[in-house]
Amino acid sequence: MTLVNSLHWTGASLAILDQRVLPAETIYQEYQTAPDIADAIRAMQVRGAPAIGIAAAYAVALSVKQHSEQQPDRWLEAVESDMEILRQARPTAVNLFWALDKMRAALALATTPDTAWSIAREVAEAIERDDLAANRRIGELGADLLTDARGVLTHCNAGALATAGHGTALGVIRTAYARAPLSVYAGETRPWLQGARLTVWELSRDTIPVTLIADSAAAWLMRQGSVDWLVVGADRICANGDTANKIGTYSLALLARAHGVKVMIAAPTSTVDLKLSAGDAIEIEMRDAFELLPDCYRTLEQPVSAWNPVFDVTPAYLIDAIVTERGVAHRPHQNGIQECL
């Protein structure tokens, strides 16, 4: 395999692959401060819930390094300020908050600035390492459900670029394809085209044949009987199994139900938010209208606006299986999600 890493930790900085310019260019930008990494998260230079969490963990480690050297008597106060900046970067992906909470709990054990830096570095590295192991386990458990599948459809990018490596939804597809040939379809995923720019690029680098479709072609593809499963990642999974993912996932799940296609959510347990009982409580990120509108409308005289939510919520009743590294919850609407925890 020729997986590409979205993040590269040097021990003194974090290099982030700019996913906004893929696949035309492969450019890493190096950061040494938490506010700069928060800006990179906000600008979608790094994206995907697990990768956002990992980036935030390393940002906290760098914050500890910076402030423990510059103001050893008040370093924790400065780090807390940086963590608040990171918390504001993106509101929907719960992995961001999960990672920050883990880093805060770890820092509570530090007795000196030097031990704080050592602890922060070790915990951030463990978060990345554990995510990669989780992805590989998710791939195995998810692939077990695709034994008889002839074709799968995925949406957005839940691959190595969105995680520590291997991927969640793409981890399932990678593992399943290694076991037996499988037709793979990817939706383009407007307006950022993560499917067209990232997913098909990732899979092609693995020499996994993949077919790109327009988002609006999904219903007709299902009508042809070309896919047996919709396999996607997640940015937040509620206690009842309702799942937030890239905008368009909900409509695909409705189409899947209408055509007898099964729906699989593949995500690490760090994406599960048991504090939220149902999907109505998830804060859905709204982004700038001009990420959607053509440049020709960038004048005050144009009476054109855009509604640009970047996530939606798929109700648990539309989901056949939630797969995490700890297990599989079948029919979560009926059976709950404890099996995947």
Catalytic residue positions? Answer: 235
Check: CB of residue 173 under 8 Å from CB of residue 210. Answer: no
Written as one letter, the residue type at 140 is E
**Pair of tokens at residue 99:** 């990672």
- Please answer whether residues 32 and 80 qualify as being in contact, where contact means their C-beta atoms are separated by less than 8 angstroms: no
- Interacting residues of 320 by C-beta distance below 8 A, sequence separation 6+: 262, 263, 264, 330, 331
247 vs 307: CA distance, rounded Å: 12
Cα distance between residue 174 and residue 206, in whole Å = 8
**In 3D, which of 267, 93, 78 has the Cα closest to residue 170?**
267
CA neighbor of 154 nearest in space, from 127, 183, 112, 117 = 183
